[in-house]
Structure formats: structure tokens, C-alpha cells
Amino acid sequence: MMRRVILLLVMLLALTAQAQKKREFRGAWIQCVNGQFKGMPTQDMQKTLAYQLDELKKDGCNAIIFQVRPECDALYESKLEPWSYYLTGEQGKAPQPYWDPLQWMIDQCHKRGMELHAWINPYRAKTKVAHTNSPGHVVSRHPERCFDYDGLTLLNPALKENRDYICAVVMDIVERYDIDGLHMDDYFYPYPTPGVEIPDTADFEANNEGYTDIGDWRRHNVDLFVEQLAETVHNTKPWVKVGISPFGIYRNQKSHPKGSRTNGLQNYDQLYADILLWDKNRWMDYCVPQLYWEIGNKAADYDELIHWWNDNCHNTNLYIGEDVERTVKYQHMADKMALHAEMEHVQGVVLWYAKAVVDNVGNYGTQLRNNYWRYPALHPTTPWIDNTAPDKVKKLKVIDVDGHRVLCWTAPKAKKWNDEAVKYVVYCFDKSESLDIDDPSKIVAITEDTHFELPEQPRKTRQVYVVTALDRMHNESSYKKVKVKY
């Protein structure tokens, strides 16, 4: 009994340490393809989303991955694709009263200090949900560029014109919207249905590009697209991060010696997605494998898989996709968080999905805000894009504004995008403490403002406030400090 108590105390200490990481990606997916917003009046949808963002902010989230292109249609104003069925209930119909959900979400997330990553589904052109495509939809305009598979309609990945089309859509989003990331999930070639063949044999025979195996050819098609998409994003705005969230198994060991000790669907062999090649070539900036299983699952053990991804995905930032409801069902939150703390290369998590966290299923949200994500976290850096910190803030001082003490500063000078300070971190220390800015418990604000109202303190209190600057890639400057007496 005593050994168990000691073990639990050790685990608690490990979890507390894990919760104190200064840099951690803390994301949540907000989906629309499940129909949760379909036909919802503008005001109601905004109210719902604002509430979710407020709760997620309290829980410690610092990034939202928002689905904006579920089936070659748009939850934003687009001249290339029609308004989404999953927004208004009729594809091509604009929302009334009019609004742009993507722009609204960018504004709302940035106001709360959160990143907004626009989530697209690249090839899916129609789900199994019965509805009519609008005349302007790509399926209506170019049916020859699509194929049907088990009730789905997909853009044919073999066709260059489809790669160009998707990248044009992506460029339009990146150019016009101040997004922080462009995100794709695991829908490349379709998930296989037993007995149903992908109807691309004629394409393979007509233009196999020297490949003799149709699987290798399909992977090549997807590789070409992912490389082109990454170039499109970074050539348009180099600071926008490309993120991909693959299915949780790359390959089973029985298929390849370097695979995981699992027995399930494989990215490489069935979805034709060579994730490790994309990691090696940095065609993505972060990878979020969907490890939605429980610890000890016979086909796909979470413990096995988090170790496998930690050991094999090294060239990009690695975050773990977590299924909130399944984690709660098996009471595995503490064990999974402990595993995260052990992994050298795991730098964050994305939660599937946001509403489960907001609804506080199994007290998951409460545990985040009171324990694991109690203190704010900066995002991991992306040094292959930019690893130079901005200059220090200038003219740091405390002024009186209508009886309130306000910490003020000015932004450092910048000549290029990667010199510019876009956010600031405010730390507070007691006078007797060392100024350790690696301690996230001392962070009192991460803000876009160049001012911060100081909280009231008892008389004769003496504190030191420290301010640093962050650039778009979350590189942090050295600090300026000011002493405050009450």
C-alpha cells in the first residue's frame, strides 16, 4: 500500500513538472463536418464559438484548429469555392446576417492570445451526407477530375490540375487572412472499404511516371501535392506554419521492420501517406499523429505509439492528437500526461475535440486549468523558418492612469517580418526572487498590447516586472525590468 502511495506521489510530481513547461503547443480542433453549426443563425454560432474560446482559454489552450474547407466549400468568403453546406445548410448560400467565420475566428483567437490554424480537407469533394452541390462547386464544374468511392466524391490525387487547384485555394486563404497555420488532417486517398477498389487503374496505366507498383505511384502523387502545398504556403507567407495530422499508425511492424508493434490501418500502405518522408524533407512544420486509442489497446497501444512517434519524427515539431472522450472513458489522463513528460520530442497536444473539453467531460477541462495547463505557455519555436529573436522592448515604465498603475513599453524597431515583435510576455517576481524567465508560473500575461494594468497589491509590497518580446515564430527577446513599490 505504501509503495503505491509513493508511486502516486512521484507521478504527481512528474505531472506537476510537466504542467510547468514554458513552451507547449496546446491546441483543440473545432470541426464543422459533424453538422454542429449547420443552419445555425449567425448570432447563435458566434455566441457558441465565443463561449468555447473563453472556456478553452481558461483551460490553457493557446491554439485553435478551425475547419474551414470540409468538402471543397468554404466557411469564409471565397471566389474560388462556394459557401459551405455545413455552415448554412445549402451549398453556395451566404450566411444571413452576413459574416465571415474564418475572419471572425482569427480576430477572436488573436484577441485571446491564441493562434488560429485554418483546417482544410484537400481532396474530399463530397461527404456521404446527402445534399446538392452548387453550380460553382468543383464537382459540378469538373466531374472528370473527380472519382466516387463508397459514397464519397474525391478530387483525383493523380491529376496535376487538382494539385494546382487545391494550392490556389490555399494561396487565396494565406494571402487574404492573417492565419498562423494551414492544417490538414488524415484524408488523402480514401480510407479503404473491403471489396471496394479505388477507380484509378486507368490513370495509372495511362501515366504511371515509371512506377510499376500502383501503391508507390499513389504515394508519389500525394508527395507531389504535399511538397507543392508547403512551397505555396511558405512562398506566400513564410511565417505561416504547415501542419498535418495523420492517422496514428505509420506502418505495422509486420509490414516493415521499422514499423510499430501494432495491427491496424497504415498511413503508408492504405492511405498512401508517407509521413516520415514529409518530416524528413520538412514539407510540414508540425505533425499531429492521431493517437486516439487507450493505453493497452490490443491493436494500437497508445504507449507503443507515442514512443514510436517520439523515436521517428524528429525534423518537425511533434504534437500528439488526443481523444478526450476515450481518455476519460479509460481514466488515462494522468498516465498519458506522464508519458508526454517522458518524451523528448513531444512538444504539445491537440485535443479531439474542442466541445468535449468545453463540456468538461470527465472533468477533463477542470484538470487542464487547475493542474496540467495551470500556467500560460509559449508556443514551441520553428527554427528552420526563423531562429533569431527580436530586439528588447524600449522605454519600459509604470505610469498612473486614472488611479491605476499601468506598465507601458514601446515595440523594438524592425526592418523585416522576422524582426518584428508581435506579442509580449509579462512576468512578475517578488523583489527577493531571482529573475528566472524560464519559470512559467511567473508569467502574468502574453499580450499583443504594449501595456498591462498592474493588479492591486498590499501596501509596502515590492515587485519586479519583466517584459520580453516575441516574434511571429515565438522567438523571445532578452528582457527589460522595472521595480514597482506599493
pLDDT digit string (tens) for 228-269? 999 999 999 999 999 999 999 999 999 999 999 999 999 999
pLDDT tens, position by position, 276-328: 999 999 999 999 999 999 999 999 999 999 999 999 999 999 999 999 999 99
Inside any domain, residue 310: yes
Inside any domain, residue 384: no
Do 301 and 429 fall within a single domain?
no
What range does the domain containing 407 cover?
394-485
Do 279 and 407 fall within a single domain?
no
Inside any domain, residue 389: no
Do 423 and 332 fall within a single domain?
no
5-9, 346-350, 391-395: range with lowest mean pLDDT: 5-9
Indicate the pairing of strand 451-453 with strand 404-410.
antiparallel
Do 366 and 474 fall within a single domain?
no
Task: State which of 302, 337, 372 marks the end of a domain.
Answer: 372
Inside any domain, residue 118: yes
Q: Is 387 exposed, middle or buried (0-12, 13-18, 19+ CB in 10 A)?
A: exposed
Do 146 and 242 fall within a single domain?
yes
Do 341 and 464 fall within a single domain?
no
What are the CA-CA distances from residue 320 to residues 20, 30, 171 (Å)?
A: 18, 16, 27
Inside any domain, residue 380: no
Do 451 and 315 fall within a single domain?
no
Residue 408 to residue 451: CA distance in whole angstroms: 4
Q: Higher model confidence: residue 63 or residue 8?
A: 63
What's 402's domain CATH number?
Answer: 2.60.40.10
**Distance from CA of residue 296 to its chain's centroid?**
26
The predicted structure's pLDDT at residue 403: 87
Do 72 and 173 fall within a single domain?
yes
Inside any domain, residue 354: yes
Do 114 and 216 fall within a single domain?
yes
> From the CA atom positions of the chain, what is the Rg in Å?
24
The number of folded domains in the chain is 2
What's 338's domain CATH number?
Answer: 3.20.20.80
Q: What pTM, to 2 d.p., does this model score?
A: 0.95
pLDDT classification of 20: cutoffs 50, 70, 90: confident
Do 365 and 409 fall within a single domain?
no
Query: Closest Cα to residue 480, out of 437, 423, 430?
Result: 437
The predicted structure's pLDDT at residue 130: 84
Do 50 and 150 fall within a single domain?
yes
- Spatial contact of 73 and 85, defined as CB atoms under 8 Å apart: yes
Do 398 and 349 fall within a single domain?
no
Query: Closest Cα to residue 447, out of 428, 469, 423?
Result: 423
Inside any domain, residue 383: no
pLDDT tens, position by position, 179-224: 999 999 999 999 999 999 999 999 999 999 999 999 999 999 999 9
Inside any domain, residue 426: yes
